[in-house]
Structures are given as structure tokens and as C-alpha cells.
Structure 1
């Protein structure tokens, strides 16, 4: 054990003193400041610390500190009985689904294992059978993450965004020559937004790329959203930063090429470093344009005058090569909510009332498995074949059911 590492054996090291270091080790990016895992783990550690101190428990719950001690919980207070009680709290006191309980407990268990390695604890109490006994069985599914776009839903959404983009682009490109410049800019802006939405939907629907690989994740500085320089429409490929923490080429099938090419021609950015899916948020773009022009030496009066010549700051940003950030993964969900409602798509899902981004990927996985089998689907989805077989096991089960029916029909038709 490192001599500089606090020891829990004397029972004086507060639990919370380890949190920052643990989260830094588990975080992504420079300094370990980013990543969804870090954010989720921080939330659950804070919850665990509050529970251990006597909050968030049942009526009368006083925490894990002895009644005669006036201090915060320390590592000396931890044993397998504490984790057993916390497992019981998760399972019964928070109203969580069984697989969510398992997920939240794993965050605390992972921290406990790290504490053993770092010398804060002598044993991995959270992994002992008695500690885990109150946890419900995991049904093998991700919490609420089972939506898959059906062929009907995919066609309905892509048809809607295609018609919407075609109408907006035609309205812009067929304006009379003497149209007021600001009116023409408004028409271009509407066409750009519709074309961006169409391209985004087609990419999510047909490439099976994870939304976090395509767009900006505020919690991971390495995921800043795909840029035009990372897309080759001639080769039908796109470089993305994969879940496995490395850059890789993703395929762009034929249905995606035309929407992207039309959108790229309409946007016509000055450099290839522009994000493919920039934010259209007015407040963000307004602040960005003001700050960037000021940094270039423009005076406030000149900036205001220049902005008054444009119907939207996005168009000024295009002309001045002021690159906005990509939309975020949450932004994509908002866009899909809006489009799903506008297209009047029947969702029929217990959790989602819109076509969520992950549903596009999962729906494409269904198509690939049924058409080409698990091996090809695994390569396209950038997953192991074992994982694909697990997540799409219902397909194989259905096919085996058909085989069984056919066998019974051949051997003992009277049973059918």
C-alpha cells in the first residue's frame, strides 16, 4: 500500500474524501473531467454518502455512524452489512426497476473495489454474497433502452423529413430575383434547418452509429460532433470516435448519401472543419458571433450593424467562418421528439413517446440480423458477435420456433 494513501484501519478517513480521486480515474478526456460514467457515478456516490450519513433512508434511519459519534461516515464504518442494507434500500425505498437497481448498485460496488486497490478498504464488501442478497435478479435488459424503430416507423419518419426538406429547399431556390435580401435569408435558414434535420434522421435511421459518436457530448470533450472533413460521400464512409475509445470508419449506405450531399451543397461552409450538425440555438449563436467578432477586433457598433444585415446569426457565422458547436445528444432527442410528433407516428412504447435515437440503431440491427446473420450485423454495429446475439436473441428464438413447428409438421402433423 502506498504510504501516502489514507488507511481505513483506524476508522478516521471520511468516505467522501475518496470521491474526487475515484471519479478522476474513471473519467474521460484530459484530467478525467468528462464522460457519462463519471457523471452517473458521481450522482450515485453522492446518494450513497447522504444515505450513509442518515438521509434518504426509511423512517428512523440514522445512518451507519454510531449514535454516540458526531462525525461524517468513514471507511471504518463500512462492512458487508452496510452494503447489504444499501442494496435493500435501493431495492425497496427508491421505487426503481429491478435492472436499474442492479445498475445503481454496480456504481457503488465499482467504487468499493477501487477503494480496496487504493488501500482505503481491506476487502471488497460490496461483492460478497450476503451484501448482494437483497438485490433483485437482473432480467438482462438495459433500463428503458429497448425501443427499436420498425420498418413502418422508419419509413414514416424519413418520408416526413424528406418531404419537409424538399419543400423548404424548393421554396428557397425558386424565390423571385427581386426578393428582399432578408426574406431570402429567412428562406435559406428554413431550408438549412429542414435539410439538417433530414440528414440527421437518415444517418440515425440507416447507419446504426451511436448518437454519442455522431454528436457532441458535453460530458466528454473528445466527442465534439462529426465534422465535414470526417465524411467522404464518394467513398460512403464517416470517421467517428467509437465507444471503444478510438477512431474508426463507419459506413454510409446509399439512402444517406443524397440527403447529406444536398445538405452540404446548401450549407456550403468555408472550411471542412464545420460541424455537420451545428446547433441552431439563437442564444448560443448570438453569443458566439458577438464574442468571436470582438476577438477579431470589431467594435460593438460594427458588430451590431453587421448582425442587422442578417436574418439569423447562423448565416453570418457561415459567411465569417465562425464555427458553432455541434448539437448535443440531448438536442438530437429534442429534434426527434418534435419530428415524431409532426409526422404523427404511432410509437407504441412503454417509456418513449417519440422515436429515440438509440431506437434507430437497434432497428437497423434487427434488419441486419434478419438479413445477413449475427456476424455481419456485429461488424456493422461495431459490437462483438456475442453481444449482438444476446441483444437480438428474440430473433433466433423466433427462427428456432419456426424450425420446431416445421419439424412437428413433418414428424407428427396431428399435433398441429
Structure 2
């Protein structure tokens, strides 16, 4: 019998009926813990795991197998590639899930733990320290922003073979990342998460100078617009002229995806060679947003074209590097609470932990000053 695919006995199912959801089992586990601190630490990760299972069509603990846990490990790996999680954090989340499923074994909801197998752990990312996470340096940020501005001008003058709309789109991506500390997953579509459709113009309020993003909390969170971010979005809106509020701020340029959007909305496939962009606008059908993968490719292209020098084995300026850099800049200047607000951390402790290396350096500098 495959230990990762075992199913509980009939007696166990009588005690825990199959209509008990994974989230209900999670709540039962968390309520069993003695430490309130442990509950607070584990709840976000386990709630996220419950949502992942729901997306995968797994409704109860009894249906889980090692393949599902393996896919969850792959999801965590993808988030580390995006820079949304450190490798160490991803492994901690998986350990929380393994502990929860061990409880389910003791609680007679499972015979064996499907997360406690080599197969389940196959895709887990390397458990690397957060200090390896990339930061955009101030020089790199300025160089990338300057090149994005220059590229718009070259597109306007038609000295490069890039549509003006695309040049504005790409510049706005750079500005929002550099200025606001938003995550790539909050701007772009995630193929593996139906709730992450990408930023829409309905999420942008230029009058109140705010936008709403679907945050790491899996709730919508308000982000204030700096002058530069407000200016970039205003100009992009004038150039793109979105016909409906649901239009993506960063629409895909992938033709097949646009054809599919029309077919999904109307039930009919447009004729080959149709002016698909005009058709989308005429019928008020929103195209998909660009994906996180496409967002990374845009950053790779711009980093290369701008001639930005990178350190070590870095390939390009990653989206999360801008977020880390914004937090570090604010934290270094003594604005830890502003850093917490800008990064939308739930607690100041999270911010302190993220920039513990800066805090340690400040302590050392203070010691030197006292001893002088």
C-alpha cells in the first residue's frame, strides 16, 4: 500500500464525516493547540493550504494524498521564484501543513500523513536564508526608471520597434514596483490561482490616489499612489482608453489568449485574421492580464536593454527586489512603522524580522558610538 495515498477506514469516516471541510479540520487543529502564539503563526499558512486544496478540488482531509501535498510544495516553490516567499519561509509553511496532517492522523481522520513522504517534498525549494534575497540598489532603480522613460520617448518617435501602448504599459509596471512596493502577484495574473486575475482599472482610483490589490492575506488591500505612480497610471489610462472598468491595467499581448477570451464570452471563435483588439473593445470583452511569468520576462528584457550591472549570479531585477529595497530604504532611515505600512505587514515584528540585518548593523554602530 502506498503510504502517501492511504485512505482511512470506514470507522474513521463515521467519526469524521466526509462533509467536514479541510478548513474545519484546520480550525479543529488550531483550537487544540495550547499556545496562542502558535495558533497566530500557523493560521495564515494553514488557511492558505485550505484554499489551495479547495482550488484543486480536494474538499476534505480524507481525500488528500501525497500528490496533493507535492503540488502544494510546487506552489510554494513558484512563490519563492517570484520572490514572494523566502525558501526558509516556504519550508516552514510546509512543516505547518505536515504537523496539521499528523494531528489528523492522531484524530483518526487519516491513516497516514501524506505530507510525510519523499514524493510530497520533491518540489520544496532550497531552505536558504532571507539575506540572499535580491534588493534593487538605488542606482539600479534610477537606471531602470530612467530607461523606461527613455523607451516611451523612443516609441513615440518610432526610433524603436515597440508599440507606444506597450512602452507605456512596461514603464507603468516598473514605476509601480519601484514606488509602491507591490508584489508581482498583486499586479499580474496567476495561472494557478483563479482569484489573482491581475490589476484592473476598477481597482484604480486616480481621484483618491489609491489602488486596491489582492494581497498576500487573500483580501483586498489599499495602496496609496505616490506622485510618480499616479502620473504613470494617469498617462497609461489616457493611452489605453480602457472601454470598461474590468479592463486589465496590463493587458496581455498574446493573440491566442485574446481569441480565447472572445470565445469564452460569446461561445463563438472569431475568424482567423480578425482585428481581435477592435473586437474586444466593440463587444466590451476584457482580455486577460499578463501573467506573472510575462511580468518577469518584461523585467528581464528591460534590465538587459538598460545595461544594468548585476551582482553575482543575478539574472535580472526581480519584482520582489523592488519591494525589499523600498522597505530597506525606509527602515534604514529610521522609519520602521512607515516601512510596515508601505509593505502592509500585519505587525511591526514582521518588519523587524525582514530587516533584522539592518537592525543588527544599527546596534553595532550604536555600540561603537557609545564606546568612543
TM-score normalized by structure 2? 0.70
Equivalent residue, structure 1, for 2:186: 213
CA contact (8 A) 1:34 1:220 kept: no
In the TM superposition, residue 145 of structure 1 has moved relative to its aligned partner by 6.3
Query: Structure 1 321/42 Cα, relative in aligned 2: closer, same or farther at 3 Å?
Result: farther
Aligned pair count? 306
Distance in 1 of aligned mates of 2:71 and 2:287: 36
Task: Note if 1:368 corresponds to 2:330.
Answer: yes
CA contact (8 A) 1:25 1:32 kept: no
Equivalent residue, structure 2, for 1:32: 55
Equivalent residue, structure 1, for 2:165: 192
Equivalent residue, structure 1, for 2:142: 155
Query: Structure 1 116/335 Cα, relative in aligned 2: closer, same or farther at 3 Å?
Result: farther
In the TM superposition, residue 390 of structure 1 has moved relative to its aligned partner by 0.6
Q: Secondary structure at the match of 1:212?
A: helix
Equivalent residue, structure 2, for 1:285: 258
5+ residue gaps in structure 2? 1-6, 13-21, 26-45, 59-64, 73-86, 117-126
CA contact (8 A) 1:146 1:359 kept: yes
Q: RMSD value over aligned CA atoms?
A: 4.0
In the TM superposition, residue 408 of structure 1 has moved relative to its aligned partner by 2.1
The correspondence for 1:112, drawn from 102, 106, 110, is: 102
Equivalent residue, structure 1, for 2:75: none
Query: Structure 1 34/236 Cα, relative in aligned 2: closer, same or farther at 3 Å?
Result: farther
The correspondence for 1:338, drawn from 301, 308, 313, is: 301
Query: Structure 1 200/233 Cα, relative in aligned 2: closer, same or farther at 3 Å?
Result: same
In the TM superposition, residue 150 of structure 1 has moved relative to its aligned partner by 1.0
The correspondence for 1:359, drawn from 306, 309, 321, is: 321
Distance in 2 of aligned mates of 1:155 and 1:43: 45
5+ residue gaps in structure 1? 11-19, 36-40, 49-96, 127-137, 173-185, 410-416
Q: Secondary structure at the match of 2:190?
A: coil
In the TM superposition, residue 25 of structure 1 has moved relative to its aligned partner by 9.0
Larger radius of gyration: 1
Query: Structure 1 292/220 Cα, relative in aligned 2: closer, same or farther at 3 Å?
Result: closer
Equivalent residue, structure 2, for 1:45: 69
In the TM superposition, residue 8 of structure 1 has moved relative to its aligned partner by 9.8
The correspondence for 2:285, drawn from 305, 316, 322, is: 322
Deviations 1:320-367 (A, max 9, x none): 4331111122221111111111112112144x3111111111111111
Q: Secondary structure at the match of 1:149?
A: coil
Matches within 5 A, 1:73-222: 107-117=97-107, 119-120=109-110, 141-142=129-130, 146-171=133-158, 190-222=163-195
Equivalent residue, structure 2, for 1:405: 368
CA contact (8 A) 1:44 1:104 kept: no
Q: Secondary structure at the match of 1:222?
A: strand
Deviations 1:61-103 (A, max 9, x none): xxxxxxxxxxxxxxxxxxxxxxxxxxxxxxxxxxxx9887666
TM-score normalized by structure 1? 0.63
In the TM superposition, residue 382 of structure 1 has moved relative to its aligned partner by 0.8
Task: Note if 1:230 corresponds to 2:221.
Answer: no
In the TM superposition, residue 158 of structure 1 has moved relative to its aligned partner by 1.0
